[in-house]
Amino acid sequence: MLSCFNDRGFGVLEVVVVAGIIVIGLLPLVALVMQSVTSSQVNKNKLIAVMLAQEGIELVRNRRDSNWQNSVSWAEMTANPVAANGLKGDGNYRVENNSGVISFADVTGVSDANARLIIDGDGVYRHSGAGEQTPFYRLMEAGNSASCLESECLIATSTVQWQERGGTKNYSITVEMYDWR
């Protein structure tokens, strides 16, 4: 004869213990997934910032190189930065490529509203025009430095700033450009 104790199902206490073990086992997995998603977003923003900073430097180099091709002297480029062939030689500004035309505009600093970048429908980051605002701001700084021993040298720094996880992040690239023609 079988005992009636063998016919019983799981008790409430047993179910609670098993559920607790499962939850405790899944918590590290959930934490790992959340950390992975956060790290992915941080890395994405850092990569975008690096590319935007490099683009700023390349736009200034492009202006310098196209002026050389058009026989514009270094002195002419830096004397009148707002001219069509000008190369901003001193101060803070934004730079962008608008349909093949590289333009410069003064800004007061990296957090200036005019330094903010938008992304247009084609996925291109720019300072002006229609599009969705991004968390990124880009500032170009130019000037001479003691490290430039020659007068035909320009120190250019491209800084990208963005807000992330309650803090301000920055990424900068600095290059020395010479009139090596």
Which residue in this structure is represented by tokens 């008790």? 11
Model pLDDT, residue 81: 59
Burial class, 76, CB count within 10 angstroms (exposed 0-12 / middle 13-18 / buried 19+)? middle
Q: Are 160 and 171 in contact (CB under 8 A)?
A: yes
Residue 174 CA to residue 142 CA, distance in Å, equals 9
Model pLDDT, residue 1: 46
Burial class, 134, CB count within 10 angstroms (exposed 0-12 / middle 13-18 / buried 19+)? middle
Model pLDDT, residue 159: 95
The angle formed by the CA atoms of residues 139, 156 and 77, to the nearest 5 degrees, is: 105
Q: Digits of tens for pLDDT over the chain (181 positions)?
A: 455 555 566 788 888 888 999 999 888 888 888 888 888 888 999 999 999 999 999 988 888 888 788 887 777 776 665 566 666 667 788 888 877 777 788 888 888 888 999 999 889 999 988 899 999 999 998 876 666 665 677 788 999 999 988 899 999 999 988 876 6
Structure token digits, residue 176: 């020395």
180: region left, alpha or beta (phi > 0 left; psi from -120 to 50 alpha)? alpha
Longest CA–CA separation in the chain, Å? 109
SS3 sequence of 130-178: CCEEEEEEEEEEEECCCCCCCCCEEEEEEEEEEEECCEEEEEEEEEEEE
Looking at residue 164, its amino acid is: E
